[in-house]
Amino acid sequence: MLRDQKEIVLPNDGKALLHPGHVNDLGHAFLHAAEHPASIGQIYNIGGEHALMIKDYVALIADIMQVKPLIEYAPLADVLKRYPGIINERGIKFACQHMCGSIAKAKRDLDWSPEIPLAVGLRDNINWMRQKKII
């Protein structure tokens, strides 16, 4: 939608928090957990250094793609009515919740920290998708 300069409808005010991370950082976290036997039975949040709002996530992707995002905000009920059969109600309701957690325990217990900043990982992914003609 960004590539084609189509409007993106974000539910509510676009301020739900996401806490994305890079798959390489996730893999390294698994390796660190395997190297720390005390991690057995523990639960860790793995993600990037910072959470951000959905609207800022879309804006960051647009910036990397060098396009201007066309964003409209709509109440969740309206979004569901506009896209029946396309948007999964349970999934979109989940996505409208704050999804961020502290990675402090993983840093402390596993001697792990994310290495790939969000913008760098997104740029790499977008470049890969362009090379593969996905976007």
Would you say 105 and 36 are in contact if contact means Cβ atoms under 8 Å apart? no
Nearest CA-CA partner of 127 in 70, 69, 66: 66
- Give the fold, CATH level 3, of 8-131: Rossmann fold (3.40.50)
Confidence of residue 95 (pLDDT cuts 50, 70, 90): confident
Q: Mean pLDDT lowest for which of 15-29, 61-75, 76-90? A: 76-90
Quick one: what percent of the chain has pLDDT higher than 90?
89
Backbone phi, psi, residue 18, to 5°: -115, 155
Would you say 110 and 32 are in contact if contact means Cβ atoms under 8 Å apart? yes
pTM, whole model, 2 decimals?
A: 0.88
Helix (H, G, I), strand (E, B) or coil at 108: helix
Whether 42 shows a pLDDT value over 90: the answer reads yes
Please tell me the predicted confidence (pLDDT) of residue 27: 97
Q: Which residue, chain included where needed, has tokens 């084609």? A: 4
